Amino acid sequence: MANYTNSIFIEIEDNHEKSLRGSIKRTGIKPLPFSNLNQLLIMFDLACEVAEMPQSSVKMRTFGPQPLQVDLEALVSDEEVVFNPESIVIGVVVTYRQNASWQGFVNIDEAVVPFKSELEFIKIIDQYIVKDNG
């Protein structure tokens, strides 16, 4: 897999029966674990925030209680990214975070697949996992 400077990696350790378990990894950030698709999206967005790339074009505002505050500095790490050789590793580059969604591309098996929304991103990941299981 190509190692892009701006890549954030999804390491899927378990995808039995379409359940996802793994972690989000990037140089300079501690691994962010997830145990389902919803957590994958939340942790991936958090990795973008910690890496400050790309910067979000819109900050969400709220009229109720403040959303969960995370100490981003506590997630910074100087350790090298290490992958389990038995895991599935997917490289993702988010080029824009605008219109309340992500735009970028996914690097799967040396193929570069663009996406224009989180929904397309989920579809690409889901199709790859189904192909890998089948």
Q: What is the pLDDT of residues 1-19, one digit of tens each?
A: 444 568 899 999 987 766 7
Check residue 97 and give its pLDDT: 83
What's the pLDDT band for 108 if we cut at 50, 70, 90?
A: confident
Q: Residue 23 belongs to what H/E stretch?
A: strand 21-26
Domain ranges, ordered by start, for the chain: 8-58+72-133
Dihedral of the CA atoms 81, 87, 93, 96 (nearest 10)?
-110
Are 115 and 106 contacting, i.e. CB atoms less than 8 angstroms apart? Answer: yes
More confident residue, 22 or 75: 22
